Amino acid sequence: MPIYEYCCNACQGKTSIFVKRIGAPVSPVCPACGSQEMRRVLSRFAYHRSLATVHEESGDPEKAGPDYYKDPRNIGRWAENKFKEMGMEMPSQVQDMISAAREGELPGPVKELQPGLSEV
Ligand SMILES: [Zn+2]
């Protein structure tokens, strides 16, 4: 299911809208201030679409076995699916952690344990 990201013209707040299909009419309302003056933001949509392709190629984590998490783009997929099932938007802190992990950025304490990494 495609996700459109909208940015509020009034308060600059961002929200993600799930749409049933590409091109379906969407009437986004800002969850923060209630404004309907939302403009479409394209960058994250492209990101989500490429991620969906990765998911399709990687298949089911339980069937894929230990190699599954070798692709950093699969990190956080379980959490994403859980939030989706509950119909909730993932908290931005969690999103940030996951995208950082996917880009190879390890959480602080772990990073310090990697020899040589801090000197680069
Ligand atoms: Zn707003």
Q: Look at the alpha carbons of 89, 91, 97, 103 in this order and tell me if their dihedral is positive or negative.
A: positive
Residue 89 inside a domain? The answer is yes
Rounded-to-5 percentages of helix, strand, coil across the chain: 50, 10, 40
Domain that holds residue 65: 49-107
Based on the fold, state whether residues 103 and 65 are members of the same structural domain.
yes
Inside any domain, residue 120: no
Looking at the structure, do residues 34 and 66 belong to the same domain, yes or no? no
Residue 116 included in any domain: no
CA of 96 to the centre of ligand 1 (A): 21
In a domain, 74, yes or no: yes
Per-chain residues with Cβ under 5 A from ion ligand 1: 8, 10-11, 13, 30, 32-33, 35
Clarify whether residues 23 and 69 are in a common domain.
Answer: no
Segment 25-49, tens digit of pLDDT: 788 899 999 999 999 887 544 455 5
pLDDT in tens, 69-81: 666 667 777 778 8
Q: Is residue 8 situated within a structural domain? A: yes
Gap from CA of 13 to ligand 1 centroid (Å): 5
Report how many domains make up the chain.
Answer: 2
pTM over 0.85: no
